[in-house]
Structure formats: C-alpha cells, structure tokens
Amino acid sequence: MVEMKLVYEGGLHTTAVHGPSKASLDTDAPVDNQGKGASFSPTDLLAASLGTCMLTTMGILAQREGWKIDGARARVEKHMSLEPRRRVGRVVVEMEMPKGVPSAARERLKEAADRCPVACSIHPDTKVELSVRWPD
C-alpha cells in the first residue's frame, strides 16, 4: 500500500504528495475542459503513467537479463474521446531504443511493455498503440 495525499487548491488545480518520498506534483484542468493547462491534467498523467510504466517494466527485465537499455525514450500522445462521455480514448506510445540491444531480447522487451501494470489497468475500451524503433 502506498498513500498519497491530494488537495484541491481551487481554480481546477490540485496538488498531490507521494507519502513515502514526499515528492509532489500539480495538476490543472486542460484548456479544452475549462482549465488553464498550466500543468499535467489528470488524463495527461494517465498517458505519462503508461509510458513510464512501460519503460520501467522493460528496464526491470533488461536489468535482470543483463541487457542495456539506458537512454531508451518514449513519446506519448493522449487522444480524448467525447462519446459516450469524456475519457481517454487512445494512447499512442512511440519508443526509441538505444543501439546494441540484442535481437533476441527485443520481442521480450516489447511484451514486457505491453503487459506493464498500467497497461493491464487501463480500461479495455481505451486503445493503446505501442511501436518500438530499434536503431540497429
């Protein structure tokens, strides 16, 4: 169990504090939903959470197997859907892996990303599109 404490600051702005580390982050409603877009929106965090979870899960596998993926990058797009109600409809994750990852490791790493805890927690109606680019 991990506890986080959240405060609604007013003006569609919140602050969240991570209990164990005391790290904090702010959210703001997006411009297209009455906010200022001054920070991540809650749905932006969902998309960023997916990308970071994928990279982390790949990192856990790579560390265990002795593969180097340091410098791996992800670009994440969040697409909202309005029907049947406002929600995240699609998340596109484009990964760029560093040179030197063994060919035999690549499918296992992609599978690890596809099966990360956040991906497994996202509603099945939310389409997740993952692509991985291997430079060599």
What are the DSSP calls for 93-124, one per residue? EEEEPPTT--HHHHHHHHHHHHT-HHHHHS-T
Rounded mean pLDDT, 86-113: 97
Pair (105, 48) in one structural domain: yes
Domain that holds residue 20: 4-33
Pair (76, 93) in one structural domain: yes
Rounded mean pLDDT, 103-125: 97
Pair (25, 55) in one structural domain: no
Rounded mean pLDDT, 57-66: 98
Q: How many domains does the chain have?
A: 2
Pair (14, 68) in one structural domain: no
Per-residue pLDDT at 136:
81
Rounded mean pLDDT, 80-108: 96
Query: Given the DSSP bridges, would you call strands 87-96 and 127-133 parallel, antiparallel or unpaired?
Result: parallel
Burial class (CB in 10 A: 0-12, 13-18, 19+), 83: exposed
Rounded mean pLDDT, 50-60: 98
Here the CATH number for the domain that contains residue 50 is 3.30.300.20
Pair (28, 48) in one structural domain: no
State the average pLDDT for the chain: 97
Pair (115, 81) in one structural domain: yes
Pair (27, 52) in one structural domain: no
> What distance lies between CA 13 and its chain's CA centroid?
21
Rounded mean pLDDT, 43-55: 98
For residues 127 and 129, give the distance between their C-alpha atoms in angstroms, rounded to a whole number. 6
pLDDT digits (tens, 9 = 90+) for 18-37: 999 999 999 999 999 999 99
132 neighbors 106 (Cβ within 8 angstroms):
yes
Structure-block tokens of residue 18: 């991570």
